[in-house]
Structure 1
Amino acid sequence: MKTPTIVTSEQWEAARQQLLVKEKELTRARDALAAERRRMPWLAVEKQYAFDGPQGRLSLLDLFEGRRQLIVYRAFFEPGVFGWPEHACRGCSMVADQVAHVAHLNARDTTLVFASRAPQPDIERLKARMGWTMPWYTMTDEFDTDFGVNDWHGTNAFIHDGDSVFRTYFINSRGDEAMGNTWSYLDITALGRQEEWEDSPDGYPQTQPYQWWNWHDEYTNAEPAAEWLAKIAGSAEDPNGPRSDADKQAATGCCRPTTE
């Protein structure tokens, strides 16, 4: 193995700063792409689909669990898939292993679910074995064929307006590599991260950055803690701004002892 050049700390920092310019350009390009997604046209879902869940038969609208948006990952766990019946597809299992706590998505009015063709008893057994907790449903009809995930994994995003459901985005293949963290999921939804710095159409729901963040076991509280709101007051971050990590920590209180 031919290793890179060994340098001094000053040279290393100079190289890092040079690369950081390109990394920030990539971040801004990614934000711009997400803004385009939020302006994608919506496709009405006219057909009625049925899923089996732990409590019985459910419609596609039921999968939203009362929230505005729905993300459905098609995972391959069923007869004929390598690993059955002990395991799901290796790639889909890697995706499942990387899913962040869904409470953060739920706080943005978004539900994430997995869907396969395996019966519910097998899905519950697999989830218990692998330590997965996301909702996972059984497809009973042509949902996978109709939404491009019958032969390959993929992630579909939906939104509803009353009883009307719309498909808003779809990503698969290497696009799914980025899926797993809260931000990557929100960035493919119609409403985005719902923070004020985002370039979104007029009237889209948006709140101050940091304001809605919480510990995953405390989102049931009606409002964020007053201490947290006080720390973030006036600290909304411009994602394209020059603020240093120290500035951001001082403004939000993140990663600093609360007794200071």
Structure 2
Amino acid sequence: MVTPMRPDGSIDLDAAQRVATHLVDAGHDGLVVSGTTGESPTTSADEKDELLRAVIEAVGDRCVVIAGAGSNDTAKSVESVRLAQKAGADAVLAVTPYYNKPPQAGLVAHFTALADASDLPVMVYDIPGRSGIAIERETYLRIAEHDRITAVKDARGDLWFAGAIMQETGLDWYSGDDAMNLPHFVNGAVGFVGVTSQVAPVDYREMADAVVAGRWEDARAVHRRLVPIVDAIMNVTQGAIMAKAGLALQGVIDSPAVRLPLVPADDHQTALVRAALSQLSATSERPAAG
């Protein structure tokens, strides 16, 4: 979930509650608050806590609320986990520490420390394209032994590896790459943690329902329908920028403001999102964005 901000960059908690309610009304059965798409690197611990509490107040009785708690500082991540439990989160998302490129033994110690910090289940987030390091097989085998490390958000793009680790560990697998959601479902994933799903929630709910019902042709049709909007949101610039542009076009948020070093979508980028949303509405037979 994006973190709505006013034009001056301050967090808009009322807008966050409106976004959360909109997404749950449209079919989301879970929300990640203060993940990377929520601009977690540039929000403070106090802001994250206020945001999490606002979202839980709005929809905590209607969906799973997962708190982003990962960073490249284990001590800060541990404190984030503890605050998430106090706020009432259902689980935490812990990204592989970025930039400092710890050894695999460091990853085991990091994820174990986070899992030990509360009673909440932990979803580890494997995204070597951003973190600079992938979680290796032996590391997965070790962390899967922890009772509270239960799930993986996979953005490494290796379906063969994912299938093997699912088989060996029994961890619940979630696609963390919008373009790979359907292939991950085919491979045995139980869900996805997406960015584009914020601007096309009904379509993604339709895909998930088709998968659960075993209607693979219908799921494939939705997947193909979503290609233009996934391209616009994920393949032009940073996903949070384009997701906020899309939500602003749809009238879900008032401002597409982001915090530096991110910058709002420019006119060309906004036009790309508008065109993709119009194309999606035409194929979905739903009203287009403004």
Report the TM-score, using the length of structure 1 for normalisation: 0.25
Give the number of the structure with larger relative contact order, counting CA–CA contacts within 8 Å between residues 6 or more apart. Answer: 1
Structure label with greater radius of gyration: 1
Structure (1 or 2) with the greater strand fraction: 1
Structure (1 or 2) with the greater helix fraction: 2
Report the TM-score, using the length of structure 2 for normalisation: 0.23
